[in-house]
Structure 1
Amino acid sequence: MRLTLFKNTLFLLVLFCFSCGSGSGKENAADNEDIVIHDMYPLDEVQKKNNMENSDPIVVGAERFDVYKKFLQNKKVGVVANQTSVVTYRSEPDNSLNAFDVEMHLVDFLLRKGISVKKVFSPEHGFRGEADAGEAVKDGVDTNTGLPIVSLYGKNKKPFVDQLKDLDVMVFDMQDVGVRFYTYVSTMHYIMEAAAENGIPVIVMDRPNPNGHYIDGPMMEEAHRSFLGMHPVPLVHGMTMGEYAQMINGEGWLSNGVQCELEVIQMENYTHDTVYSVPIRPSPNLPNDTAINLYPSLGLLEGTNLNAGRGTEMQFQIFGSPHLPAGIYTFRYTPQPNFGSKNPKHKGTQCNGLDLRDTPRMNKVDLSWIIEAYKNHTRKNEFFNTKNFTAHAGTAKLQKQIEQGLSMEDIRNSWQDDLKAYNAMRKKYLLYD
């Protein structure tokens, strides 16, 4: 049996309790396998309907051990993972002769299967997903398994040679959300690059892209390359991590054109049109499916004076500012420090804004909110943080277009040639319909 909590208010406690292991060493890895407590949320009506109509559940790459065990057996393994790196598998029958589903962190699962995991690498937000966006993540030791944890966020975004020298293979398994400025793709790039330079294969365990049903947004320009965007792709790229890894290799995007020895463990029963509910929040400020679906549009607000819900439990589902007129923006909230944002924008100040929690599932980037907010903002000279906004947009053109008063339709039309060219390239690397 399993115990699951559906209360976002317990997220900090949940993440502290969430185990990537259960004991010190693989002989104790199954002590608490029948109880799993982590942050989840109910499906919306579209997803409920989808789940009822599709009898074959998605099997993520990490759950297909029989497919990838040959790459890991008798090898010294490094794992790039976070709190989303969870597998579900069918247990052996218990004393009552009943088998049951067990949820377990991938690191625990591999140890249980006799795989020699030597080291864990953690991305932005940390191994347990507790760090703020942009907050430095420190190296450490996992208290449950005794495994060393190497931070890949902060000064050390790319593993050093001495951090890889005792490894034979790297496993990458994290839940992405399909948005260019979501930094897990950048972490994967650096893992592939470092591994290629050191002759280490990389195994990518594929997971669904909850925004994989469309591509949209401005293209990233080389002049604005950063950790928020390392590749010439649109803001919403429409690929799984496995597909994207193939594209990084195939397009020669690794330093000096090096090629990573890559294996993608594909999913079963997934298509790009599959409506997928992410079972564990992929980072502290994406608490549910609505936030993930709105993130491509509201994530752009990070480079403006607007607060996008940080400091509340409605992150990326609302936005506001003290400098938006209360007569037009009638939703009120006051950001306060919380587990996902220790110093939110406009902390302790009432914001006037919009509540977007009832927005239907989106299939395009919606610029209407940022365009109208700019028009109505009472301090236009403070609206954009140009450097930050350009890093998120991947281009300096979008800010200029908004400031010049272009309509959303005109701005979107300016993307179309780039999107067509990108889509033609993208098709070469797709693994799913």
Structure 2
Amino acid sequence: MISNSTVKNTLLFLVTLLIYSVNSYSFSPAPDGIPSAVSTIVVGAENTAAYFDLLRNKKVGILTNQTGVVRQDITKTDYTSTVDFLIQNKINLVKIYAPEHGFRGTADAGELIKDGKDTQTGLPIISLYGNSKKPSKDQLAGIDVLLFDLQDVGARFYTYISSLHYVMEACAENDIPIVILDRPNPNIAIIDGPILEMKNKSFVGMHPIPTLHGMTIGEYGLMINGEKWLKNGIQADLTVIPNLNYDRSMQYALPVAPSPNLPNDQAINLYASLCFFEGTNVSSGRGTSLQFQIYGSPYLEHMPFSFTPKPNAGAKDPMNNGKLCYGEDLSKEEYVNKLEIKWLLKAYQQSKNKEKFFTNFFVKLAGTEQLKQQIIAGLTEDEIRQSWIEGLSAFAVTRTPYLLY
């Protein structure tokens, strides 16, 4: 007779094999700014037959930013704002809600975003970043349904999924239906990294998931609801408008930069791996034109590449501002099909200032104290990755019911 524990362990082993076989699959990224399979993939916002009837004769709010774009003709690459598109199609849009970086996507990471008015449409803009990450009852007043249209990049600490959590929670508490207009995940083939421990919960990591979750934002919303991660286990009245002609084997190049410091496909692919440097004394390239494509520090003077971060759009006071940094240029690196930690390990090992290498923010980004402890203890990359396997296997099982593609 086979025991339950044997069955469980066998299942976890098989799922682990699946994870690492997917992560080893190699893609050739499409050219910057041109979505692959442009004539076939229809994003949720363009799938109008599936959601326009849900909006007719309703007062509609939308959480979106510059990534909320649609094609009037899906065989071309001429894009217009989802907001303008809805208004052109006689949808009664009454409020815009904005996430981190603001409605137009120009603010720094972490910068306080204020409420205002959109100069092009005259609609009020309500900031959901800064002092008010969760919309209040008053901020939701006057809408019958809320649309969510943001482009995610598949990383736990990319805060658009945290904004999704809070708007789902607020809508559930105020009996307002929420409709997610799904978009492809440019890193959908990768499930990797340590699982967040809930004692380290923050806006850069709210749920017990790995660093790279391999889900579209619509699938992720279904998981938030299904796993009852909202406050007191409440569930939102949620509808996901799926992408059409899309599956997990497709590499997707974003038509619009999702935030000021993710300017191209290379940065989006390397983002999760290099973002750990945001919790150290090492620059991840903010304040340069190669954001999340280089890394460096004044304490790595034996490394081959050098640069000096300076204030620019999206980084008013970058890490190591005005200081000569030494590190590596990864802008020509081939597609990374996993969470790559070799650069983090190398930087720590070669740093002349190990005592101040980590900041308090590192544990929030990692989601666990263990990764920091492993690096300090000198564990190898393989040893660290082995410690993730059980958590990744369990997550792969948990997410399965919510996958749409």
Aligned pair partner of 1:413 in 386, 400, 403: 386
Q: Within the alignment, does 1:331 sit opposite 2:305 as a pair?
A: yes
Amino acid paired to 1:426? R
| Distance in structure 1 (CA, Å) of the matches to 2:329 and 2:256 | 23
Q: TM-score, normalised by structure 1?
A: 0.85
Q: 1:103, CA displacement in angstroms?
A: 2.1
| Distance in structure 2 (CA, Å) of the matches to 1:183 and 1:272 | 22
Output one character per residue of 1:328-374: Cα deviation in whole Å (capped at 9) or x when no partner: x1111110000110001111111111000111111111111111111
Aligned to 1:76: 59
Q: Percent identity?
A: 51
Amino acid paired to 1:331? F
| Distance in structure 1 (CA, Å) of the matches to 2:48 and 2:35 | 27
Aligned to 1:252: 228
Aligned pair partner of 2:48 in 61, 65, 90: 65
| Distance in structure 2 (CA, Å) of the matches to 1:161 and 1:323 | 49
Aligned pair partner of 1:85 in 57, 65, 68: 68
Q: 1:45, CA displacement in angstroms?
A: 5.9
Aligned to 2:12: none
Q: Within the alignment, does 1:264 sit opposite 2:240 as a pair?
A: yes
SS at match of 1:218: coil
Amino acid paired to 1:358? K
5 Å-filtered alignment, 1:31-430, equals 46-47=29-30, 54=37, 56-90=39-73, 102-326=78-302, 329-385=303-359, 387-430=360-403
SS at match of 1:389: helix
Q: 1:54, CA displacement in angstroms?
A: 4.7
Aligned to 2:23: none
Q: TM-score, normalised by structure 2?
A: 0.91
Q: 1:101 to 1:131 in 2, by over 3 A?
A: closer
Q: 1:56, CA displacement in angstroms?
A: 4.7
> Cα RMSD over matched residues?
1.8
Q: 1:217, CA displacement in angstroms?
A: 0.2
SS at match of 2:383: helix
SS at match of 1:176: coil
| Distance in structure 2 (CA, Å) of the matches to 1:208 and 1:416 | 26
| Distance in structure 1 (CA, Å) of the matches to 2:67 and 2:77 | 17
SS at match of 1:135: coil
| Distance in structure 2 (CA, Å) of the matches to 1:203 and 1:132 | 28
SS at match of 1:234: coil
Give the length in aligned residue pairs.
378
| Distance in structure 1 (CA, Å) of the matches to 2:327 and 2:292 | 12
| Distance in structure 1 (CA, Å) of the matches to 2:44 and 2:100 | 22
Q: 1:46, CA displacement in angstroms?
A: 3.8
Q: Which has the higher contact order (CA 8 A, sep 6+)?
A: 2
SS at match of 1:293: helix
Q: 1:54 to 1:177 in 2, by over 3 A?
A: closer
Q: 1:413 to 1:154 in 2, by over 3 A?
A: same
Q: 1:83 to 1:242 in 2, by over 3 A?
A: same
Q: 1:298, CA displacement in angstroms?
A: 0.2
Q: 1:251 to 1:310 in 2, by over 3 A?
A: same
CA contact (8 A) 2:288 2:309 kept: yes
Q: 1:100 to 1:58 in 2, by over 3 A?
A: closer
Q: 1:193 to 1:355 in 2, by over 3 A?
A: same
CA contact (8 A) 1:56 1:269 kept: no
| Distance in structure 2 (CA, Å) of the matches to 1:337 and 1:52 | 30
CA contact (8 A) 1:89 1:101 kept: no
CA contact (8 A) 2:35 2:255 kept: no
Q: 1:48 to 1:150 in 2, by over 3 A?
A: closer
Q: 1:66, CA displacement in angstroms?
A: 1.8
Output one character per residue of 1:150-191: Cα deviation in whole Å (capped at 9) or x when no partner: 000001000000111211000000100000000000000001
Q: 1:214, CA displacement in angstroms?
A: 1.4
Aligned to 2:16: none
Output one character per residue of 1:376-432: Cα deviation in whole Å (capped at 9) or x when no partner: 1001111000x2000100011100000000001000000000000000011110000
